[in-house]
Amino acid sequence: MMGPAHSLSGAAAWLGVGALATGMGHTMPWPVLVTGALICAGAALAPDLDHKSATISRAFGPISRGLCEIIDRLSAAVYKATRGKGDPRRNGGHRTLTHTWVWAVLIGAGSSAAAVIGGRWAVLALLFIHMVLAVEGLLWRQARVSSDVLVWLLGAAGAWILAGILDEPGNGAGWLFTQPGQEYLWLGLPIILGALVHDIGDALTVSGCPILWPIPIGRRRWYPVGPPKAMRFKAGSWVEIKVLMPAFMLLGGIGGVAALNLV
């Protein structure tokens, strides 16, 4: 799928988690609901860091472009080292390592560790990165005609404001993980969810997605999981734009209302 659809699906997924939490009697504080939805929307773009034309690869200028080159080479090397007898030879690393459950868990766990160990500045950095990506994904038309600096300033302002709100007692800094020193440990959860939602979205397209690596399927470790080919679509096709994106917006709205216990 394309960036806007990925971001919408990420936001909708976290709002759905909020609705589920409310239904189970553990209402999510509204700052966690909003911040988590934005983080998840941004994180849903992150697996495409292995593709030089992707939104995330262009979002932070030469820094993200350089990181994209590194991730692409790393992904290609891991693919080559671990491919099964049935996996085809390939040169690039797109839709390999960063499109697996292993990567999603590692990135999420690493983010949680960074938030706990690094303190406020690490939290602000994580929020800034994902706020910028959320703007790029959810407001892609406006972001495309704006300067990168303007988007970065918007991301920085959003990160600072949200961190300040979350730090207030009862607003969610210590949500879910309540022991002293575990503030913001939950930040890795929307990051994991965003990456997995991205992978599921890509699995619906023609190429499929090797989300289950390194679990072998037949003679392949990089099996492109997906529905029957007749049910798949091309990225950017009318199915994605006319059907899935409106569905994500509708489901996200329903999830948000339910999460806030307004129904």
pLDDT per position as a tens digit, 203-214: 999 889 999 999
Confidence class for position 146, pLDDT limits 50, 70, 90? low
Residue % of the chain over a pLDDT of 90: 67
**Domain ranges (residues) in the chain:** 1-258
pLDDT at 189 over 90: yes
Q: What is the overall mean pLDDT for the chain?
A: 91
pLDDT at 134 over 90: yes
Confidence class for position 241, pLDDT limits 50, 70, 90? confident
Q: Residues 170, 129, 6, 90: is their CA dihedral positive or negative?
A: negative
Q: What does the pLDDT read at residue 111?
A: 96
pLDDT at 143 over 70: no
What length does the chain have? 263
DSSP the chain: --HHHHHHHHHHHHHHHHHHHHHTT-PPPHHHHHHHHHHHHHHTTGGGGGSTTSHHHHHTTHHHHHHHHHHHHHHHHHHHHH--TTSPP-S--TTSGGGSHHHHHHHHHHHHHHHHHHHHHHHHHHHHHHHHHHHHHHTHHHHHHS-HHHHHHHHHHHHHHHHHHHHSTTSSTTSS--STT-TTGGGHHHHHHHHHHHHHHHHTBTT-B-TTTTS-BTTBSS--B-S-GGG-B-TTSHIIIIIIHHHHHHHHHHHHHHHTT--
**Mean pLDDT, range 218-224, rounded to an integer:** 93
Confidence class for position 190, pLDDT limits 50, 70, 90? very high
> Could you read off the pLDDT of 54-89 as tens digits, one per residue?
888 888 989 999 999 999 999 999 999 999 999 999
Q: What does the pLDDT read at residue 262?
A: 76
Q: Which residue has the higher pLDDT, 234 or 156?
A: 156
CA-nearest of 244, 247, 246, 222 to 235 is 244
Q: What does the pLDDT read at residue 25?
A: 82
38 within 8 A of 194, measured Cβ to Cβ? no
pLDDT at 145 over 60: no
Start-to-end CA distance of the chain, whole Å, equals: 32
Q: What does the pLDDT read at residue 140?
A: 67
Distance CA 148, CA 92 (A): 27
For the ranges 64-78, 86-100, 101-115, 225-239, the lowest mean pLDDT is seen at 225-239
* Residue/partner pairs of 224-233 with CB below 8 Å, 24 or more apart: 224/95, 227/203, 231/204, 232/204, 232/205, 232/206, 232/208, 233/204, 233/205, 233/206
Q: What does the pLDDT read at residue 142?
A: 64
Q: What does the pLDDT read at residue 144?
A: 60
Q: What does the pLDDT read at residue 177?
A: 83
Quote the tokens at residue 106.
């590692």
Q: What does the pLDDT read at residue 174?
A: 86
Distance CA 230, CA 113 (A): 42
